[in-house]
Structure 1
């Protein structure tokens, strides 16, 4: 049992990766649509590339969006308008008319005229309320059908033109008076009816909308059907509009079929295989080309988490409304991976993610083409993410690629730009703006996963930081040495394409352990007194070597990232404190060399190897007397070659060619430091 537990402990990293792989696979499969996938790819206006297609079962031909929209518009245009009738209004107006008429027209009028006027008034009221009077103005068509409701019961039907509107009252009065040769009483009648007429119709908006919705719900979503065995399309035939709609109907019917338990399980199994293969490719890439990432479970978890997060967000958007899929800022993924790792890993993970999203999104080929293209642009354009201008420029380029690619696809599908959906461009712009969220996201990831990006490195490179200020106060010589090493290391990193920002920060902090005993290091001995004179060689070596361990402790105390602490650990590798070793050897023949060696480890990256070379060269350059170009060249060659002979760079992925380039930079920089001129022949 104990052996089994020990075996589990030894392989816990591998077991964790396996569990992470399995969990991520099943979580992604859980998000996938649980239906069969139509096996044919087709585009409108393009030849059918597959074999002759016969209808595998009976299915209905669905109407396309344009047809449904047209039908809905026709129904809306011909919909019935409903009005509520208040029958008491006409009675009230008739009674008021009799009373007001007597007040307005005195008995002095001839009886015949008086009676005629009264009779005309009654006729006008009757005409007003044949259908009814509407109090508000509505922008309905005059030919629209109407239904008059009294107590929610249909009383009469007609057209909207038959309803009396406010602006039609005066013309009706004039027409009736003119008919009976009483036009001279127009002013009196208009004044009388202006206060008298009341609207008896009210537009019933809710009832009208409900009736319209019922009519819309009755729209048939299909037009005709295709029987099993019917020829749908032959190889080489062009997919015209009619065939395209039939194929889309077949695809929709196929993917929406009710699957039996056996079919369902097979579909899940097949999805699981495909997702597992995709994630396995990512694992293999990390294991072969990014070994340091693969061996760090936190970084592997971070990568898988981000891939799953993008798939999860896209699934939510597709389930809500698939037209918003381009709002999801997929290009955040390569940006994040490039910020924390490198461009190649970012591109590989982005492609894997987009391939997986192809199972979820509609028009998967078009979607994948756009997203992979945008990912390539992201990787190629974004450099030095900590510079805000670079991010804005990159977002603009990503948005432009989306817009241009979508425009090209639309023209290919439709053959014109007349009905192009301009709102898609808004989604692309929103996606670009959402990509700007990468900055706060990087900060959050740094805190959650303990990673470090170039943005954090820029902050750490500030020489006004608390730790570097303390170093400059306690060990000014070491601080000055660190600045010189940082400049040499940054120039060397730029020369071979390494991470210049990382190596600069590592150089600034690599000797912070010397703050504990600053006077034991020659660069800080300003009084001429050397405390090593009172110590044995072994004790002196122990103090010198301990600055590495002390530096690690101080770095952890100040919460420096592990990537920076790696420079403190490795900047001397397993080299020997040569001066004290040789001094001890003079006194004692049998010397244990291990007592005079740094604990290591050796540099394991280009950046840590660069720091080791620059640190040794800069420190030793202080002993050069009357330096010349020839002396400096030989000096740099001897120091670096000695480190190569000791095998200090065996674990670092650095080539001899890159080492030669670094030597060249160091020679040039040291020549500038000592202000050497070209040695002209006499």
Structure 2
């Protein structure tokens, strides 16, 4: 039992990765559509590449979305408006009219004329209420068909312009009076009807919409059908018009069929295999090319989490409206991975994610082409992410690539630009703005996963930070040495295309352990007194070696990232404190060499190897007397060759060619530092 537990403990990292792999696979499969996928790939305007296709079953030909939209538009535009009529109002007005008429017209008008005017007024009422007077003003087309309901019973059928609007009352009065040659009484009648007329037509919106919806529901979404084994399309035939719509109908019918339990399980199993295969390729890539990332469970979790997050966001957008698919900023993925890891890992993970999304997005070939091209552009254009201008320029380039590629695909599919959907370009611009969210996202990831990006490294490189201020106060000589090493390391890293910012920050903090006993290090001895004179060689060596351990403790206390602590841990590797070892050998020829060696580990990256070279060369350069170009060259060669002979760079992925380039930089820099000056006159 104990052996089993010990075996589990020894392999707990692999067990965790296995569980993470299984959980991520099932989560992604859960988001995938649970139906079959049409096995044929086709595009409008292109030849049919497969063999002759016959209908595998009976299916209806679906109308195109544009055709259905046009039918809906036509029905909506020709829809009948329904108004409710209040008959009581008309009866009340007709009854009230004679009384008001005699009140408004003076007694000076003789009776015969009054009777004529009274009848004219009744005629005006009839004209006004022929169909009814509206309660308000509505924005309907004058030719719209109108039905007037009296208690849900159709009373009149007319057009909207025949109804009496409030602003039509005066023109109707004028027209009736003009026909009777009674224009002289216009103001009297207008005044009379202003107080008398009441609206009696109310727009019945709910009933109108109900009837409209009934008409819309009658729309047939299909036109005709295809019988089983009917030839649909022949090989090489151009896919356009009805052929394209029939193929789309077959695809839709195939993917929307109600699958039985057996089919469902097989589809689920097949999707699981595909997703598992893609994620397995990612794990194998990490194990072969990024072993340091593979062995770090936090980093592997981070990578899998981001891939799942992109699949989740894309699925949510597709479920809402697949037209907005290009709003999802997939290019955030390579940006984030490049910020925390490297470009190669960023691109590989991006491609794996796009391949996974190809199973759920419409127009999968077009989508995958656009996203992979955009990912490549992201990797190639984004450098030094901590510089804000670089991110904006890169996002602009990514957006431009999206637009160009989409334009090319549209022209290939449609054969013209007349029907191009300009709003899609707006989606690409929105995607660009969403990609800018990568900066706060990187900050959040740093806090959640304990990772370090170049943005954080830029902050750590500030020499006014609390820890570097303390170093400059307690150990000014060490601080000056660290600045010189930082400049050398940055130049060397730039020369071999390593992470210059990381190398600089590592160099700034590599000797912070000397703050504990600053006077025991020669660069901080300003009084001429050397405390090592009072100690044995072993004690002195232990103090010198302990500055690495002390540095790690101080770094942990101040929450420096592990990437920076690695420089403190490795900058001397397993090298020998040569001076005190030789001093001890003078006293004891059998002195144990291991007592005078640093504990390691040896440098395990290009950046940490660069620091070891720069640190040794800069420190030893102080001992040069009358430095010349020849002396400096021999001096640099001697120190770095000794480190190579000791095997200090065996664990670092650095080549001899790169070491030669670093030597060249160090020789050039030291030659500039120790250049001869002319003697100034006193």
Q: TM-score range by the shorter chain?
A: over 0.9
Output the CA distance in 2 between the equivalents of 1:661 and 1:180: 110
* Alpha-carbon shift at residue 294 of structure 1 (Å): 0.9
Q: Which residue of structure 2 lines up, in the alignment, with residue 430 of structure 1?
A: 430
**Structure 1 residues 438-479: Cα deviation after superposition (integer angstroms, max 9, x where no partner):** 011101111111110000000000000111111111111111
Q: Which residue of structure 2 lines up, in the alignment, with residue 594 of structure 1?
A: 594
**Structure 1 residues 354-404: Cα deviation after superposition (integer angstroms, max 9, x where no partner):** 110011111111111111111111111110000011111111111111112
**Structure 1 residues 642-669: Cα deviation after superposition (integer angstroms, max 9, x where no partner):** 0000000000000101111111111111
The more displaced of 172-181 and 437-446 is 172-181
**Would the aligned equivalents of 1:83 and 1:146 in 2 still touch at CA under 8 Å?**
yes
The more displaced of 199-208 and 332-341 is 199-208
Q: Which residue of structure 2 lines up, in the alignment, with residue 391 of structure 1?
A: 391
* Alpha-carbon shift at residue 418 of structure 1 (Å): 1.9
Output the CA distance in 1 between the equivalents of 2:576 and 2:445: 39
The more displaced of 146-155 and 513-522 is 146-155
Q: Which residue of structure 2 lines up, in the alignment, with residue 5 of structure 1?
A: 5
Output the CA distance in 2 between the equivalents of 1:395 and 1:374: 10
Alignment of 1:151-170 (within 5 A): 151-170=151-170
TM-score, structure 1 as length reference: 0.98
Q: Which residue of structure 1 lines up, in the alignment, with residue 650 of structure 2?
A: 650
Output the CA distance in 1 between the equivalents of 2:351 and 2:72: 41
Q: Which residue of structure 2 lines up, in the alignment, with residue 507 of structure 1?
A: 507
Q: Which residue of structure 2 lines up, in the alignment, with residue 110 of structure 1?
A: 110
- Secondary structure at the counterpart of residue 158 of structure 1: strand
* Alpha-carbon shift at residue 69 of structure 1 (Å): 1.1
Output the CA distance in 2 between the equivalents of 1:511 and 1:177: 107
Alignment of 1:277-292 (within 5 A): 277-292=277-292
Output the CA distance in 1 between the equivalents of 2:91 and 2:197: 11
Q: Which residue of structure 2 lines up, in the alignment, with residue 615 of structure 1?
A: 615
Structure 1 unaligned blocks of 5 or more: none
Output the CA distance in 2 between the equivalents of 1:182 and 1:421: 61
Output the CA distance in 2 between the equivalents of 1:61 and 1:390: 51
Q: CA RMSD in A?
A: 1.4
1:59 pairs with 2:41: no
**Structure 1 residues 301-350: Cα deviation after superposition (integer angstroms, max 9, x where no partner):** 11111000000111011111111111111010000000000111101100
- Secondary structure at the counterpart of residue 255 of structure 1: helix
Q: Which residue of structure 2 lines up, in the alignment, with residue 660 of structure 1?
A: 660
Alignment of 1:80-479 (within 5 A): 80-479=80-479
- Secondary structure at the counterpart of residue 43 of structure 2: coil
Output the CA distance in 2 between the equivalents of 1:171 and 1:521: 107
TM-score, structure 2 as length reference: 0.98
* Alpha-carbon shift at residue 213 of structure 1 (Å): 1.9
Output the CA distance in 2 between the equivalents of 1:499 and 1:180: 98
Output the CA distance in 2 between the equivalents of 1:230 and 1:328: 41
Output the CA distance in 2 between the equivalents of 1:238 and 1:467: 71
Q: Which residue of structure 1 lines up, in the alignment, with residue 22 of structure 2?
A: 22
* Alpha-carbon shift at residue 677 of structure 1 (Å): 8.4
- Secondary structure at the counterpart of residue 157 of structure 1: strand
Output the CA distance in 1 between the equivalents of 2:88 and 2:285: 85
- Secondary structure at the counterpart of residue 366 of structure 1: helix
1:581 pairs with 2:581: yes
Output the CA distance in 2 between the equivalents of 1:637 and 1:14: 43
- Secondary structure at the counterpart of residue 650 of structure 2: coil
**Would the aligned equivalents of 1:86 and 1:150 in 2 still touch at CA under 8 Å?**
yes
**Would the aligned equivalents of 1:358 and 1:367 in 2 still touch at CA under 8 Å?**
yes
- Secondary structure at the counterpart of residue 131 of structure 2: coil
Output the CA distance in 2 between the equivalents of 1:616 and 1:142: 92
**Would the aligned equivalents of 1:629 and 1:676 in 2 still touch at CA under 8 Å?**
no
**Structure 1 residues 615-657: Cα deviation after superposition (integer angstroms, max 9, x where no partner):** 1111111111111111111111110000000000000000101
- Secondary structure at the counterpart of residue 26 of structure 1: helix
**Would the aligned equivalents of 1:85 and 1:149 in 2 still touch at CA under 8 Å?**
yes
- Secondary structure at the counterpart of residue 34 of structure 2: coil
Output the CA distance in 2 between the equivalents of 1:575 and 1:171: 107
* Alpha-carbon shift at residue 108 of structure 1 (Å): 3.6
Output the CA distance in 1 between the equivalents of 2:128 and 2:532: 119
* Alpha-carbon shift at residue 676 of structure 1 (Å): 4.3
- Secondary structure at the counterpart of residue 293 of structure 1: helix
Structure 2 unaligned blocks of 5 or more: none
**Would the aligned equivalents of 1:132 and 1:199 in 2 still touch at CA under 8 Å?**
yes
**Would the aligned equivalents of 1:148 and 1:155 in 2 still touch at CA under 8 Å?**
yes
**Structure 1 residues 36-69: Cα deviation after superposition (integer angstroms, max 9, x where no partner):** 0101111111100011100101111111111011
The more displaced of 333-342 and 8-17 is 8-17
**Structure 1 residues 570-595: Cα deviation after superposition (integer angstroms, max 9, x where no partner):** 00000000000011111112111110
**Would the aligned equivalents of 1:81 and 1:146 in 2 still touch at CA under 8 Å?**
yes
* Alpha-carbon shift at residue 116 of structure 1 (Å): 1.4
* Alpha-carbon shift at residue 89 of structure 1 (Å): 1.4
- Secondary structure at the counterpart of residue 456 of structure 2: helix
Q: Which residue of structure 2 lines up, in the alignment, with residue 480 of structure 1?
A: 480
- Secondary structure at the counterpart of residue 321 of structure 1: helix
**Would the aligned equivalents of 1:333 and 1:346 in 2 still touch at CA under 8 Å?**
yes
Q: Which residue of structure 2 lines up, in the alignment, with residue 603 of structure 1?
A: 603
* Alpha-carbon shift at residue 425 of structure 1 (Å): 1.5
- Secondary structure at the counterpart of residue 5 of structure 2: helix
Output the CA distance in 2 between the equivalents of 1:109 and 1:649: 123
1:41 pairs with 2:41: yes
**Would the aligned equivalents of 1:21 and 1:279 in 2 still touch at CA under 8 Å?**
yes
**Structure 1 residues 499-548: Cα deviation after superposition (integer angstroms, max 9, x where no partner):** 00001000000001001111111111111111111111111101100000
Output the CA distance in 2 between the equivalents of 1:28 and 1:419: 36
Output the CA distance in 2 between the equivalents of 1:514 and 1:133: 96
Count of paired positions: 678
* Alpha-carbon shift at residue 124 of structure 1 (Å): 1.7
The more displaced of 655-664 and 169-178 is 169-178
Output the CA distance in 2 between the equivalents of 1:8 and 1:487: 47
* Alpha-carbon shift at residue 416 of structure 1 (Å): 1.8
